[in-house]
Homo-oligomer: A and B are copies of this chain.
Amino acid sequence: MRILLTNDDGIYAKGIEVLHEQLSKDHDVVVVAPETEQSAVGHAITLTDPLRVKSINRNETFFGYAVKGTPADCVKLAINELMKPPPDLVVSGINLGANVGINVIYSGTVSAATEGTILGVPAIAVSINTFRDPDFRPAARFTRLLVRQVREHGLPPYTSLNVNVPAISESKIRGVRVTRQGVTRFVEKFDRRIDPRENVYYWQCGSNPPLEEDGDTDASALANDCISITPIQHDLTNYDFLESLRSWSFPKVSDS
């Protein structure tokens, strides 16, 4: 297959290099990734600034494009301009830090995968559950095997797989769970400071609580030393609430 490989930690990150090495064993891989780290950009796209593009050779096999933009920008630009015909698959990662629970909505890694599916290309996002320099190889090898499954089964329209891998040795990983997005989230704290010119500023120092969820969530899988795979789509409608909301008496606009 022809694979578009991207991430949000930037084209020079270790995670994308290790994943490139694994995926290149089976596939033709083109890297289009942000020039610099883009963590917590969510599904941002760049409309008011130009997107600068540079060709990059990290080593003899790792060739790609560094884009001054967000992960979603990279996928849009790759599919619409840089790769013709479009790729067969988008893979995003390997992200340093889990993307589970509510935090998924802040994730550039996952948004890159979502962007692929919006443009008609199936996609996988991969993250590892640590911010410390991990061994990315277990997650990269698993992804290589998962890509074969995706190729065999296909994915429904607008659907990507959000994969999270525990940061432990392969022999300690207890299995693979198909999960739903849980409710783990950053717990914000803001550190208030005064600059030398007496202006107020804050540092956002959010931290993630321990992964204590029960049941079939992404965070619970990680807490139990399992790989989690959550199928993700982009429709935010709260369908369960539609009927109840229809029973409200909305103001007639002429009243307003």
Interface residues of A (CB under 8 A from B): 37, 39-48, 50-54, 72-73, 76-77, 80-81, 102, 104-106, 110-111, 114, 118, 138, 141-142, 144-146, 149, 153, 155-156, 158-159, 161, 170-171, 173, 175-176, 178, 180-181, 185, 188-190, 192-193, 199-204, 206, 227, 229-242, 245-246, 248-251, 253-256
CB distance from A238 to the nearest CB of B (A): 4
Partner of A204, one of B73, B102, B170, B256: B73
CA distance A190 to B236 in the complex (A): 27
CB–CB B178/A245 < 8 A: yes
CA distance A104 to B45 in the complex (A): 12
Partner of A50, one of B45, B188, B201: B201
Chain B's closest residue to A181 (CB) is: B237
Taking CB atoms, residues of chain B closer than 8 Å to A236 are 104-105, 110, 114, 181, 232-234, 236
Interface centre among A48, A80, A105 (most CB of B within 10 A): A105
Taking CB atoms, residues of chain B closer than 8 Å to A39 are 47-48
Cross-chain pairs A/B with CB under 8 angstroms, 18 sampled: A41-B44, A43-B43, A43-B105, A43-B106, A50-B193, A51-B201, A76-B188, A76-B190, A104-B236, A141-B256, A142-B251, A145-B251, A173-B253, A180-B242, A181-B236, A227-B253, A232-B236, A232-B237
Chain B's closest residue to A169 (CB) is: B253
Chain B's closest residue to A193 (CB) is: B50
CB distance from A250 to the nearest CB of B (A): 4
**Given A52-B199, A153-B248, A161-B245, list of 7 further CB < 8 A pairs?**
A40-B46, A43-B106, A50-B193, A72-B106, A105-B114, A233-B236, A234-B236
CA distance A240 to B233 in the complex (A): 10
Taking CB atoms, residues of chain B closer than 8 Å to A51 are 190, 201-204
CA distance A232 to B105 in the complex (A): 13
Taking CB atoms, residues of chain B closer than 8 Å to A246 are 178
CB distance from A75 to the nearest CB of B (A): 10
